[in-house]
Amino acid sequence: MPSITGRAVQVTDKGGPFAVVQREFPSPGPGQVRIRVQACGVCHSDAVTKFGLFPGIVFPRVPGHEVAGYIDEIAPDVKGFNAGQRVGLGWHGGHCTYCRQCRQGNFVLCENQLISGISYDGGYADYVIAPANALALIPDDLGHVDAAPLMCAGVTTFNSLRNSGARLGDTVAVLGIGGLGHLGVQFAAKGGFNTVAVARGADKGVLAKELGAHHYIDSTTQDVAAELQKLGGADVVLSTVTDAGAMEIAVNGLAPQGRLILLGVPEKPLTLNTMPMILGERAVKGWPSGTGFDSQDTLEFSVLTGVKPRIEEYPLEEASAAFDRMMSGRARFRVVLTTGA
C-alpha cells in the first residue's frame, strides 16, 4: 500500500508552538503497523515532548501516547494482528526482545524501550506507525474516546495496583483524584479494596463517593496520616500527585509493611523519616505504566467492571488549546483529541 497523506500536530523545536501540518505516513516497516487514529489522550507527560525534556528527542516531533484507532496497514512479518482491528498504543512504545530485561520477561523495563510520541511520532495525528509488540486490542464494548486515556492514566493506576501486593479487603489510599486519581479510585473500589480517596477540599468528598471510595480525607482540614492510621493504616498508597509534601505525610499513614507507590513525579526530592520505615518494614517504590498487554488487561477490566474516564473532547486541530487546558490544571479529568475520521 502506498503512503497516505494526513494531518499531524507537531512541535517543530524545543518549547516551540504546536503546528498543524500535512505529512506523508509511509507503509509500516518490519514488525510495525500503521494505525488510523480515532482518539488520542492529552497527558501531562506530553510536556516531555513539547519542552524537549527527554534525552535524545529529535524535532520535529508529534506528541501523544494515549492512542486508540484501527490498524490501517500491517507489515508482512507481523503475526497476531490483522488490518481493521481496533487497537491502542500507550507510553510503552515497543521493546527489543533481546536485552537482559526483555529476556527475563520484563518488557516494560527494556533497556532499548521506545516511547510513543518521544522515540517516534505519536498520536496527535491521523496516523501513527508503531511496533506491533506495543499494541493492545480494544474490546468491542469500549469506545475509542473512552479507551484512549486508559492507555496511560488507566494502565498506570490499574497495573501498579495489581502489582502492589495488596490483597482483597486491604486498605488502599489514592492521593489525588484528578486525571490519574479518579481512575485509581475506581480501580481500587472495583478491585475489592477498602478504598480511601485523599484530596484537597470538602467538595471533593461527593466526587470521591461517586467514584466508589469508601472513605474521604480532606487534606486541607484533616491530618492525613492520622486519619489513615484510624483505619488501621494504608496497606498501599497510590500517589498520583506531584506534591512532595503530601507524599511525605502519606508515608506516616502506612500500615506495617505498607507501600507508597509513586505514579506522579514530585516537584522536589522527598524527605522521609526513615526510622518508622525501618521499624515497620514500610517501602517507597515507583511504577512505570505497563506493556501493551497490560493495557489490554486494563481495557478488559474496565469494560467488565464499568470503570470509565471522565473526559473533555477537543478536535485534533485544537491540540494546542487542549494541551494548554491540561497543563493549566483546570481540566476535569482527562482531555482527549478526536480526529473526526
Of the candidates 95, 162, 148, 108, the residue with the CA atom closest to the CA atom of residue 297: 162
In angstroms, what CA-CA distances link 246 with 3, 84, 184?
50, 45, 17
Give the 3-state secondary structure of residue 286: strand
Distance CA 188, CA 250 (A): 17
Question: Residue 45 has which C-alpha cell?
Answer: 507527560
Q: How many CB atoms lie within 10 A of CB 15?
A: 10
Do 141 and 303 form a contact (C-beta atoms < 8 A)?
A: yes
Using alpha carbons only, what angle is made at residue 279 by residues 274 and 284, rounded to the nearest 5 degrees? 50
pLDDT for res 2 = 77
164-286 folds as Rossmann fold (3.40.50)
CATH superfamily of 4-153+289-338: Medium-chain alcohol dehydrogenases, catalytic domain (3.90.180.10)
Distance CA 331, CA 119 (A): 27
Return the residue matching grid coordinates 524535532.
59
Question: Residue 216 has which C-alpha cell?
Answer: 474521604
Position 107: which residue type? F
Of the candidates 87, 40, 20, 99, the residue with the CA atom closest to the CA atom of residue 292: 87
pLDDT for res 1 = 66
Q: How many CB atoms lie within 10 A of CB 169?
A: 9
| DSSP H or E run through 185 | helix 181-190
329 burial via Cβ count (<10 Å: 0-12, 13-18, 19+): exposed
Question: Residue 191 has which C-alpha cell?
Answer: 478491585
Handedness of CA 249, 256, 231, 168 (dihedral sign): positive
Return the residue matching grid coordinates 506491533.
132
- pTM for the model stands at 0.96
3-state helix, strand, coil in the chain (%, to 5): 30, 30, 45
What residue segments make up the domains of the chain, in order of their start? Answer: 4-153+289-338, 164-286
In angstroms, what CA-CA distances link 339 with 69, 81, 126, 313?
10, 23, 6, 11
| DSSP H or E run through 130 | strand 127-131
Task: Please report, in tens digits, the pLDDT of each residue of the chain (341 residues total).
Answer: 678 999 999 999 999 999 999 999 999 999 999 999 999 999 999 999 999 998 889 999 999 999 999 999 999 999 999 999 999 999 999 999 999 999 999 999 999 999 999 999 999 999 999 999 999 999 999 999 999 999 999 999 999 999 999 999 999 999 999 999 999 999 999 999 999 999 999 999 999 999 999 999 999 999 999 999 999 999 999 999 999 999 999 999 999 999 999 998 888 999 998 998 999 999 999 999 999 999 999 999 999 999 999 999 999 999 999 999 999 988 889 999 999 86
